[in-house]
Structure 1
């Protein structure tokens, strides 16, 4: 299994050497400088976006209830950028094509460089929020296409598919991956909130706990990079050439590896 290619996370793995190599690379990008935000509140706001996007019938994302949290209440401490600017910058990076660097692992590590100043849970939530922004923009256009001439014109300019019915299985897979990523992120937010410095844990337990935080952050980020790439690359095709979402591996990585 090649961790740095497109293979899936090994099942029944207990931190193999490839994970150790990955963690070392991740830690080289990690340079927290005190920047922080309410990651739990932002995650709830991101859930709202995905829930509203589901009403377009583009995907089958379901949430039991829509929270009324206002993302405008979230303050990014220690940053000169607003939250909107940060999310937009991350989204642009996720949508960007890198000539000769389209390997998913390479693009994920580039994003970790961008996210280097944030805590691990914040990295995950910002990546999820950036994906939600890109996906919701796509959903808004497709939802309005049947009756809005402007939406039709924009979809033509972007070469978006005219018929999404053939893509329902792919969108269902995407929604499952996002749901899994969000569940994992909620766990990491709780872990990051624990007072490890005061906890009476042995060194081995601490190392294992932190290692899985790093690995979970990687796979959530990688999964969102993969999903965003598929949204970016979606072009109008004949039904038999419908865009395929190559996210089964990423989903397996999240479900088997976390």
Structure 2
């Protein structure tokens, strides 16, 4: 544990790695559903959504080269038959300047890049001349054997990848908790951080194990006799990561509940006070550690509550709302339209729901909302 912490020296500037993790999850899901064309098209469409592209491109611009470098490093170390723990420690050294969630997002993206690339080549090489040539260059001398071997391990790989993504999301959510609003038990906080360190190490080590098995199959060094031990290695890692995730998520939920309760009490007190503007109320309402809880629907950049204050200075009235009931949305926008026609400048801001993408699609389909130039703000971490 001491060695893990010694290899952690994050810089002040940190990149939002959530879009990278989303993209990685899409790759894993596309591999999972590749045999079912209807599902594959569904996930491909989600990845290619125009509204997400600026956010994804911005993240890839800052982390893309690191992911590529990590992808090469993992393959190189795996090909050299080094121990998984030694490779995991080397990875931690390479990623020392990033926070824990970003380390995990980068490693999983590197694994997804390698896994997806070779899976795609193996799927297409029998029908596509380019894929056949690439398979030969990459040493996939028997792509059929590679596909068969991978399918034997597909269930264990799928569960392991899903659990590693879940752990990473939990770490990511913990890092943006608005801890400035509460005083949490020091020992509980220290224990949570220790669990994050352990979880990060095992996600990285499990990713290395996956990369090592894929590398062995590519080089046709994966013998049938070794198939069962290799599968058991993956299943043991699934059990390990599942156990880690259960403990981590339980502690996170407890922290989150404490924070929500204390933020709620703070809001009640703020509502009883007289304010020059609504800055303090909005700052608490959209409480996040990095102070950028909102997202501009046009540029996809994360912004602070000051943008709402600027709108107040422009003489605009802002109505924050959120509902899955389209009938209620139509009624609200009808009333807002009447107010707007009376010469009062008003803007509606949709602040999300638990099923954001589906709800947004329905809300955007409402003509009245579109006529009022509805601003849609998406942020997965806004407390509800």
TM-score of the superposition, structure 2-length normalised?
Answer: 0.54
Provide the C-alpha distance between the structure 2 equivalents of 1:231 and 1:87, rounded to a whole number of angstroms: 18
Matches of 1:39 and 1:153, distance apart in 2: 34
1:39-188 equivalent positions in 2, closer than 5 A: 39-57=17-35, 66-67=46-47, 68=49, 69-70=52-53, 71-74=56-59, 82-97=62-77, 102-157=82-137, 158-159=139-140, 160-163=142-145, 164-188=147-171
Stretch of structure 1 that moved more, 194-203 or 171-180: 194-203
Aligned to 1:228: 211
Could you say which residue in structure 2 is the equivalent of 1:3? none
Query: Any idea what SS the aligned residue of 2:179 has?
Result: coil
Give 1:240 shift: 3.9
1:17 equivalent in structure 2 = none
Q: How far off is 1:199 after superposition?
A: 2.5
Q: Distance in 1 between matches of 2:105 and 2:126?
A: 33
Contact 1:222 1:250 in 2 (8 A): no
TM-score, normalised to structure 1's length? 0.78
User: How far does residue 99 in structure 1 lie from its aligned partner after superposition?
Assistant: 8.8
Residues 1:257 and 2:244 are matched in the alignment:
yes
Instruction: Give the drift of 1:256.
Output: 1.8
- Where 2:77 maps in the other structure, the secondary structure is coil
3-state SS of 2:14 partner: coil
Q: Determine if contact 2:78/2:215 at 8 Å carries over to the other structure.
A: no
Shift of 1:165: 3.3
* Alpha-carbon separation, structure 1, partners of 2:40 and 2:165: 12
Higher helix share: 2
Of residues 114-123 and 215-224 in structure 1, the stretch that sits farther from structure 2 once superposed is: 215-224
CA contact (8 A) 1:161 1:236 kept: no
Answer 1 or 2: which has greater strand percent.
2
1:201 aligns with 2:184: yes
Question: Could you tell me which residue of structure 2 aligns to residue 18 of structure 1?
Answer: none
For residues 49 and 170 of structure 1, what CA distance do their matches in structure 2 show? 17
Structure 1: gaps (5+ residues):
1-21, 77-81
By how many angstroms is 1:101 displaced? 7.2
SS at match of 1:162: helix
What value does the CA root-mean-square deviation take over the aligned residues? 2.8
Stretch moving more, 95-104 or 147-156? 95-104
Mapped to 1, the partners of 2:41 and 2:30 lie a distance apart of 10
Which secondary structure does the structure 2 equivalent of 1:73 belong to? helix
Please state how far the C-alpha of 1:169 moved relative to its aligned partner: 2.9
| Cα contact 1:135–1:228 (8 A) shared by 2 | yes
Q: Conserved in 2, the CA contact under 8 Å of 1:46 and 1:128?
A: yes
Deviation at 1:94, TM superposition (A): 1.0
Displacement of 1:213: 1.2
Distance of aligned partners of 1:252 and 1:192 in 2 relative to their CA distance in 1, 3 Å threshold: same
Q: Distance in 1 between matches of 2:163 and 2:58?
A: 26
Tell whether the 8 Å contact from 2:32 to 2:158 is kept in structure 1 after alignment: no
Q: Find out whether 1:33 has 2:24 as its counterpart.
A: no
Cα separation, partners in 2 of 1:181 and 1:57, compared to 1, 3 Å: same
2:290 maps to what in 1? none
Q: Which has the higher contact order (CA 8 A, sep 6+)?
A: 1
